[in-house]
DNA sequence: GCCAAAAACGATCAAATAAATCAATATGAC
DNA sequence: GTCATATTGATTTATTTGATCGTTTTTGGC
């Protein structure tokens, strides 16, 4: 699939289940996970290493612990811990849409940040108004270009004329937008007025696909301000907690809808002492 | 059987965390680390011994302290902990130059960050290419405008055409620049080439005073790239560890020099009481 | 100063864990 | 179907860790 980072569906699923375990217990051990998921220990280790590379967990000898990101918890309007699992699987799928050597536009919000985690060390250019992006990307080799502008602390985003001016200099191959509300009736809606202009401009500066990412709780929701109309969007990536009826309505508009499974249907045969 | 160091990933990472602790506190204790990292004390001891063997720390009975090498620092370009006391005092003085309702330009680097800390909750506008500024300013009410551009992780700064374009839209009342070297002979010099253009442009976009801040270790030093000539600078703020002879040479060029007193050797036990 | 108790240390060893390599299997593109 | 790639596991080898020893250093009383 992709050159550097192509986690298949089953693999991604299993890794997400590690996260739910971690959220419950704080730490996991390699041996336990191997037994619980009926895979070898080396596979678990590989999984945990990958999660560590994404900055979600911290390895220790024999297991891993959930990395606690303080600072960000209360700041964000949209709480990072909320729907963290859904956002991560959505982020993984969205990241697969980005091919090598492309320039991708990302807007603010925690879902976009989840995508960023899966874009680490890729040979791409990332353009974003997400002021948390530098810290998130860390020492990754991916090229990061930050739009300027006024800083809004609650959403950790940059907006205003300067941001739009910078955006006008950019030609992108792909645009991935997080949204506070996605509805067949009202299109994409946003909770911050200043973001609407950014989002619209991002779509405008993008030659290729426009992808919207939103966890299930946002499907059918309408936020405060009208953003991008649906006919300018090509793909919606969401998760299986989304309302099925609304998804059908969205599909009816011609939108390609990708639903990520977050709740385990394919449970491993042997699952002893968890839950 | 690694290239130079037979330390696996997990061990190496834990040791790095010791270093960040050390940079924050100066010293660490074996028992504390053992508890913090959930490993046995003997493991911590082995780690510290290894760090000591690499010359990064100095062991003492029960713990270790950070050894500050004055020569070459390849790990971090500008170590935040190094001269932290001096930078803070300088930051406080520099912040006093900013009056209400002004727009102030700040460049990258840790000294600028120290100024930012003293500008919290002021009724001003801050324009900067320092990507660490948003996190530092937090919920402050001061208005923060970030220049866009390419992100450089080592210096946490933004640079390039986009940054310059954004800067060209700004009119500032004041400009405060951190610099890697300040010398009567070579003027202001910078360790990152891309920063020189930013610094020059900042001076250009500023109607009022141009203030240079640099801790004592940088006075008389010449870094890699020529930045702003001294005749475009009005004020230099430094500390009492600066070389007096060089300061006189700088005064001779017409520069107004402000020297902040830094009390005796900073002992780990007795913490200074600013703020 | 001296001495004893407590804490920290170092060496050795065994068990657990991780890393590297290679081969088998599954997956998806064409 | 073929092909390329991704995923996984078996095997072997190396690393990491903690327990248990005895030794050294520090601490606090005298």
Model pLDDT, residue B103: 96
Q: Are B232 and B203 in contact (CB under 8 A)?
A: yes
Q: What are the backbone angles phi and psi of residue B233, rounded to the nearest 5°?
A: -110, 140
Q: Which residue is nearest to nucleotide D9 (CA to C1')?
A: A40
How would DSSP label each residue in B114-129?
A: HHHHTTTT-S-EEEE-
Q: Is the pLDDT of residue B1 over 60?
A: no
Q: Is the pLDDT of residue B59 over 70?
A: yes
Range in A65-74, B73-82, B247-256 the model is least confident about: B73-82
If you count DSSP H runs as helices and E runs as strands, how many of each does chain B have, helices first?
9, 15
CA dist B49 and B53 (Å) reads 6
Q: How far is the CA of A42 from the C1' of C19 (A)?
A: 10
**Can you read off the two tokens belonging to residue B258?**
């402000």
> B149-182 burial, b if ≥16 CB within 10 A, otherwise e?
bbbbeebbbbbbebbbbbbeebebbbbbbbbbbb
Q: Tell me the percentage of chain B whose pLDDT exceeds 90.
A: 62
Task: Find the angle CA(B78)-CA(B79)-CA(B81) to the nearest 5 degrees.
Answer: 145
Of the candidates B151, B156, B157, B119, which has an alpha carbon nearest to the alpha carbon of residue B138?
A: B119
Q: What are the backbone angles phi and psi of residue A139, rounded to the nearest 5°?
A: -90, 15
Residue extents of the structural domains in chain A: 3-66, 76-260
pLDDT tens per residue, range B184-231: 999 999 988 889 999 999 999 999 999 999 999 899 988 888 889 999
Q: Is the pLDDT of residue B4 over 80?
A: no
Q: Is the pLDDT of residue A90 over 90?
A: no
Range in A78-82, B81-85, B251-255, B268-272 the model is least confident about: B268-272
CA dist A52 and A202 (Å) reads 31
Task: Assign domain B3-66 to a CATH class.
Answer: mainly alpha
**Can you read off the two tokens belonging to residue B54?**
């690499």
Contact status of B13 with chain A (Cβ, < 8 Å): yes
Average pLDDT in chain A: 84
pLDDT tens per residue, range A93-137: 898 888 888 899 999 988 899 899 888 878 889 999 999 999 888
| Interchain CB distance below 8 Å, B137 and A158 | no
User: H helices within chain A, ranges in order?
Assistant: 9-25, 30-37, 41-53, 72-75, 84-96, 110-117, 133-137, 161-167, 193-204, 244-252
Of the candidates B117, B119, B114, which has an alpha carbon nearest to the alpha carbon of residue B100?
A: B119
**Can you read off the two tokens belonging to residue B80?**
């935040």
- Using DSSP bridges, classify how beta strands A187-190 and A181-183 pair: parallel, antiparallel or unpaired: antiparallel
* Chain A residues in contact with B37 (beta carbon < 8 A): 60
Model pLDDT, residue A137: 86
| Interchain CB distance below 8 Å, B151 and A137 | yes
Least CB-CB distance to B166: which of A49, A133, A148? A148
**Can you read off the two tokens belonging to residue B213?**
């801040």
Range in B14-18, B71-75, B171-175 the model is least confident about: B71-75
- For residue B253, give the 3-state DSSP assignment: coil
- Under the banding of pLDDT at 50, 70 and 90, the label for residue A12 is confident
Q: Is the dihedral of CA B139, B142, B148, B150 positive or negative?
A: negative
CA distances from B42 to A52, A59, A104, B25, B190 (A): 25, 19, 48, 22, 44
Q: Is the pLDDT of residue A263 over 80?
A: no
Protein CB footprint (7 Å) on chain C nucleotides: 7-12, 16-21, 27-29
Indicate the fold that domain B76-260 takes in CATH. Rossmann fold (3.40.50)
Model pLDDT, residue A214: 93
Q: Are A48 and B10 in contact (CB under 8 A)?
A: no
List the single best residue of B129, B146, B154, B167 to mutate versus A (max A Cβ within 10 A). B146
Q: Which residue is nearest to nucleotide C27 (CA to C1')?
A: A8
Q: How is the beta sheet containing A63-66 ordered, strand by strand?
A: A27-29, A63-66, A57-60
- Under the banding of pLDDT at 50, 70 and 90, the label for residue A82 is low
**Can you read off the two tokens belonging to residue B273?**
């009481």
| Interchain CB distance below 8 Å, A149 and B151 | no
Q: How far is the CA of A111 from the C1' of D4 (A)?
A: 33
Model pLDDT, residue B78: 56
Q: Is the dihedral of CA A67, A124, A92, B133 positive or negative?
A: positive
Q: What are the backbone angles phi and psi of residue A226, rounded to the nearest 5°?
A: -70, 135
Q: Which residue is nearest to nucleotide D4 (CA to C1')?
A: A1
**Can you read off the two tokens belonging to residue A165?**
């001016």
- Under the banding of pLDDT at 50, 70 and 90, the label for residue B142 is confident
For the residues A168-172, what does the mean pLDDT come to? 93
Model pLDDT, residue B81: 59
Contact status of A66 with chain B (Cβ, < 8 Å): no
């Amino acid at each position: 699939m992709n050159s550097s980072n192509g986690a298949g569906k089953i693999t991604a699923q299993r890794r997400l289940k590690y996260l739910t375990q971690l959220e419950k217990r704080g730490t996991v051990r390699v041996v336990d996970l191997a037994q619980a998921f009926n895979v070898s220990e080396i596979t678990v280790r590989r999984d945990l290493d990958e999660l560590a590379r994404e900055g979600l967990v911290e390895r220790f000898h024999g297991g891993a612990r959930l990395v606690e990101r303080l600072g960000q918890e209360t700041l964000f309007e949209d709480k990072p811990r909320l729907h963290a699992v859904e956002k991560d699987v959505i982020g993984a799928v969205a990241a697969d849409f980005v091919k090598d050597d492309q320039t991708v536009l990302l807007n603010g919000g925690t879902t976009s940040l989840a995508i960023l985690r899966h874009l680490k060390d890729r040979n791409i250019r990332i353009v974003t108004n997400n002021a948390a992006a530098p810290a998130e990307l860390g020492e990754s080799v991916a090229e990061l270009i930050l739009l300027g502008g006024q800083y809004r602390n609650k959403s950790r985003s940059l907006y205003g004329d300067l941001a739009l001016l910078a955006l006008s200099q950019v030609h992108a191959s792909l645009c991935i937008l997080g949204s506070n509300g996605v509805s067949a009736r009202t299109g994409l809606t946003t909770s911050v007025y200043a973001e609407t202009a950014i989002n619209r401009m991002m779509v405008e500066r993008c030659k290729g696909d426009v992808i919207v990412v939103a966890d299930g709780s946002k499907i059918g929701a309408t936020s405060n301000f009208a953003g991008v109309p649906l006919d300018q969007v090509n793909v919606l990536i969401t998760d299986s907690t989304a309302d099925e009826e609304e998804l059908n309505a969205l599909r009816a508009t011609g939108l390609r809808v990708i639903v990520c499974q977050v709740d385990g249907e394919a449970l491993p045969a042997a699952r002893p002492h968890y839950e």
